[in-house]
Amino acid sequence: MNSFYLENVRLRGEAATVTVEDGVIAALGAGNDKGLPRVDGEGKRLLPGFLDLHTHGAAGVDVNAADPEGLRKISRFFASHGVTGWQCSVLTDTKEQTLKAIRAAREVIEKGSGGAQLMGIHLEGPCLSVEYKGAMPESLLMKEARIDLFREYQEAAGGHVTYLTLSPEVPGAVEIVPALGELGITVAMGHSAAGYDTSWAAVKAGVTAATHLGNAERLFHQHDPAIWGVALESDCWVEAICDGLHLHPGTVRLYLKAKGWDRVVAITDSIMAAGLPDGDYKLGVNDVIVKDGDAKLKSGVRAGSTLTLDRALGNIVRWTGADPEDAARLMSRNPAELMGWSRKGAIAPGKDADLVLVDEGLGVFATFVRGERVFG
């Protein structure tokens, strides 16, 4: 059922109704003149569906090793946490394994997920800094950026590679940014030791985002603000992992103060352990140990997270005192605008009916993807 009349919900504190026709929001606050099936929101708060641009897995499934059904399992798990759209992030891996992951994602993108909509593929690498590789396998990092590799990946993906993280200081990286844009790929900078001038050159070439700002990259120095400083000074969107482990709450508030509420994108960077107990897991080729919800390599390097976006929303509300509707912008409108997804990210006529109902504690009550109830 993707046509219905949603009633008894609260939108920014006010009683509201939403008319959904063929998976699209047709009207707000109108009567049910067409006699559509009624859906009772039970007085819950209505928010735009969440969008996770950067995640490596959840529910026991690692994106790099996932088959299509594994990706659908992730989609169903994400839907239970308010996510209506996501990109699967492929960690730097062998060419063979990367192509395998791309083809699995393409099938789900084109045939459907049964949960949160898989919107595209994020390639995190392989043109990344050795110094700030984080959990990236050093032996698989490229010493020179070549556009031919990404053309091959995009062809295999059927055009569904939508997002790429690279390090501006890798030889050839800045030079291929315009060509990546021509391939339909939004480019972010991260995992980088780049200085101020090199980072600005990347932004001028077309880089529009910074990957998990403050993690796995050169930090600010008064004599060289570096990639961190350029991310804050420029108009780039910045990703933020709001789990209280990757970033101090004060750092998140600093990002919001410097960038404004319209340029920060909340991500999870989650791994297969999200939704599961502490224990031993995988992240691409890496062995990961999760203790107290904190995912690390045996070396102690942090390796993704176990965060979900509904938890991130609660953290942002607590850390800033913002209304949930304002905090939710970081995981709805902002990622949609970054990626150019004009039908996503807001509750308005003409937008896809990607909706989430939450209770007073911001727990997810129900999730709708293009008008289909996929959770609750």
SS3 216: coil
- Per-residue pLDDT, 16: 97
CA angle 343, 317, 332 (to 5 degrees): 10
- Per-residue pLDDT, 9: 98
Give 63's strand partners. none
Q: Report the helix count and the strand count for the chain, using DSSP H and E.
A: 10, 20
Note the pTM of the prediction, 2 decimals: 0.97
What pairing do the DSSP bridges indicate for beta strands 355-358 and 364-369? antiparallel
Distance CA 16, CA 25 (A): 13
Q: List Cβ neighbours of 163 (8 Å cut-off, separation of 6 or more).
A: 53, 54, 87, 120, 121, 122, 123, 185, 186, 187, 188, 339
Cα–Cα separations (whole angstroms), residue 106 to 20, 103, 246? 28, 5, 30
8 A C-beta contact, residue 25 and residue 18 = yes
- Per-residue pLDDT, 135: 84
Cα–Cα separations (whole angstroms), residue 97 to 102, 106, 263? 9, 14, 33
Q: List every span in the chain annotated with CATH 3.20.20.140.
A: 50-343
Which one-letter amino acid corresponds to residue 45?
R
Q: Give the residue ranges of the chain where pLDDT is below 50.
A: none
Q: List Cβ neighbours of 37 (8 Å cut-off, separation of 6 or more).
A: 1, 3, 4, 5
Alpha helices per DSSP H over the chain:
68-79, 95-111, 147-156, 173-182, 196-205, 226-233, 249-259, 309-320, 324-327, 333-339
Distance CA 104, CA 35 (A): 41
CA angle 99, 159, 87 (to 5 degrees): 75
CATH top-level class for 1-48+345-376?
mainly beta
Distance CA 366, CA 44 (A): 9
8 A C-beta contact, residue 16 and residue 28 = yes
- Per-residue pLDDT, 137: 86
Distance CA 17, CA 223 (A): 54
CATH top-level class for 50-343?
alpha beta
Residue 293: count of CB within 10 angstroms of its CB: 16
- Per-residue pLDDT, 166: 98
DSSP 245: S
- Per-residue pLDDT, 1: 72
Active site residues: 269
Q: List every span in the chain annotated with CATH 2.30.40.10.
A: 1-48+345-376
Which one-letter amino acid corresponds to residue 154?
Q
Q: Which tokens go with 145?
A: 């950026």
- Per-residue pLDDT, 102: 98
Which of 298, 238, 245, 299 is closest to 270 using CA atoms? 245
8 A C-beta contact, residue 204 and residue 233 = no
What is the separation of C-alpha 122 from the centre of its chain, rounded to a whole number of angstroms?
9
What pairing do the DSSP bridges indicate for beta strands 4-11 and 14-21? antiparallel
